[in-house]
Structure 1
Amino acid sequence: MADHARAGVLFDVDGTLVDTTYLHTVAWWEALRLEDRDVPMAEIHRAIGMGSDKILDHLLGEDHDTTHDDRMTAAHDTLYATWWERLRPLPGAADLLRAVAGRGLKVVLASSAKDRELAVLRRVLGADDVLAAATSSADADESKPAPDILQAALEQSGVDPDRCVFVGDSVWDVRAAAKLDIACIGLACGGTSAAELIDAGAVATYRDPADLHVALDGSAIARLDRR
């Protein structure tokens, strides 16, 4: 039997395991509007997955006036927090985490959420009993598509980058994984299409955690069992 001591699966959380992508979109839209910045929601949605250190430059241009960036970020955080008590896991999220752990693989949350928000997300998931590690924004200098949060997840969990898979829902997830030569499985439940995820470099795509769970035996995760 393969030694799984350093094999594992890293999971993005927002939009991958918990249904938050469109809530973040609306919160950023409202925060931008408070400063008279009119950005279409579709553009904001496609940027979700970046952290607050990147998203405003991406949406407003790297040469934009940054005077009110902190205020917009704080407004986003406040608006988004109003949804915390109503957040829901995506279909099959906890079952998928438990199935991965049941294969003897480490389960790691590679999240760049702030600490208080991460605590809420973990409560929503209800799968702390199978987690080997979980990161927060405090663990990374830069957010995705920089690979910092994935590197932190590897270091905290002891997972070997040659023996892991990352599961995410955005092109930023796929690009971050590629920088560490980690295979990325894409889930379309965050609103990014399977075609876009494949074009970005995902090794496979599934509808949501439940779909990946059903297909687990034929997935890149199952191949970790045989290394």
Structure 2
Amino acid sequence: MSSERTSEQDVHGRRAALFDVDGTLVDTNYLHTVTWWEAMRQAGHRVGMREIHHTIGMSSDKLMDRLLPEDRDRSGDQRISTAHKTLYAEYFARLPALDGAPDLLRTLADRGWYLVLASSASQDELAAMRATIGADEAIATVLSSDDVEEGKPAPDPVEQALEQAGVPARDAVFVGDTVWDVVACVKAGVRCIALQSGGIPPELLLEAGADEIYRDPADLLRHLDSSALGR
């Protein structure tokens, strides 16, 4: 990101709202948990669903490194990842948007926020979730896992979102739902609002460094004026 572009947009007061999507705008974290569990089961790995759930939000390679034995035959990792994607794709037509998600995005856009979706999902998964949300007119830029070299909890997705928005970290707020979202934001120096809609206990989100916590998009929208997105 060039300093010329940044300073030009700073003059115009651009503020960027960066959003995770899975578990933040669309209720998919438990679907990912079940489909990862089945993909690993098919490959002969016994992994508890609680452990899987707490890794959702990581990039696929980091998720498998965390959950599967270190001495495994890693040549099978791609088959596991493909099986997960195939199983999860069966839900594309009926993915549920979280309460308040489209209204939150539209309200922020109406208030002048530059909206970026910064997701760890693949392009086809992200397209299915955007169709579910139905607020594309409010979204300025979209990033998928294909657009970054390293996924969360590395800061790359957050930093790439800042670059796409053309703002420094101080002029951005990230909204996510997992510990890995929060950790990536802390590394990137971006304020993070965490939602409990992904199923992660609030104490873990606070411990990771979340600045604010709300129940779901609808709850954040109700408290928007007193949040980091309303100040």
Q: Do they superpose with TM above 0.5?
A: yes
Q: 8 Å contact 2:182–2:208 — kept in the other structure?
A: yes
> Could you tell me which of 158, 166, 187 is aligned with 1:158?
166
Q: 8 Å contact 2:57–2:120 — kept in the other structure?
A: no
Question: Post-superposition shift, 1:180?
Answer: 0.8
The answer to whether the aligner puts 1:50 opposite 2:61 as a matched pair is no
Structure 2 SS opposite 1:122: helix
Q: 8 Å contact 2:26–2:133 — kept in the other structure?
A: yes
Structure 2 counterparts to residues 73-222 of structure 1, below 5 A: 73-222=81-230
> Could you tell me which of 34, 51, 58 is aligned with 1:26?
34
Letter in 1 for 2:49: M
Measured in 2, the distance between the counterparts of 1:93 and 1:156 equals 22
Measured in 1, the distance between the counterparts of 2:201 and 2:134 equals 27
Question: Post-superposition shift, 1:38?
Answer: 0.3
Question: Post-superposition shift, 1:5?
Answer: 4.2
Measured in 1, the distance between the counterparts of 2:85 and 2:63 equals 13
Question: Post-superposition shift, 1:137?
Answer: 1.1
Q: 8 Å contact 2:118–2:143 — kept in the other structure?
A: yes
Measured in 1, the distance between the counterparts of 2:165 and 2:69 equals 36
Superimposed CA distance per residue, residues 16-44 of structure 1 (whole angstroms, 9 cap, x where no aligned partner): 00010000000000000001100000000
Identity %: 55
Q: 1:32 to 1:210 in 2, by over 3 A?
A: same
Structure 2 SS opposite 1:47: coil
Q: 8 Å contact 2:58–2:120 — kept in the other structure?
A: no
Measured in 2, the distance between the counterparts of 1:103 and 1:29 equals 41
- Please identify, of 148-157 and 119-128, the stretch whose mean Cα deviation from structure 2 is larger: 148-157
Letter in 1 for 2:95: L
Measured in 1, the distance between the counterparts of 2:12 and 2:207 equals 31
Letter in 2 for 1:19: D
Superimposed CA distance per residue, residues 47-80 of structure 1 (whole angstroms, 9 cap, x where no aligned partner): 0000112100010144433121000000000000
Structure 2 SS opposite 1:145: coil
Letter in 1 for 2:36: W
Q: In the alignment, what sits opposite 1:60?
A: 68
Q: 8 Å contact 1:4–1:104 — kept in the other structure?
A: no
Structure 1 SS opposite 2:96: coil
Q: Which runs of 5+ in 1 are unaligned?
A: none
Q: 8 Å contact 1:26–1:41 — kept in the other structure?
A: yes
Task: Count matched residues.
Answer: 222
Instruction: Using structure 1 for the length normalisation, give the TM-score.
Output: 0.94
Superimposed CA distance per residue, residues 83-110 of structure 1 (whole angstroms, 9 cap, x where no aligned partner): 1101010010011111111211111101
The answer to whether the aligner puts 1:70 opposite 2:78 as a matched pair is yes
Measured in 2, the distance between the counterparts of 1:60 and 1:156 equals 34
For the aligned residue pairs, the C-alpha RMSD in angstroms reads 1.3
Q: 1:144 to 1:61 in 2, by over 3 A?
A: farther
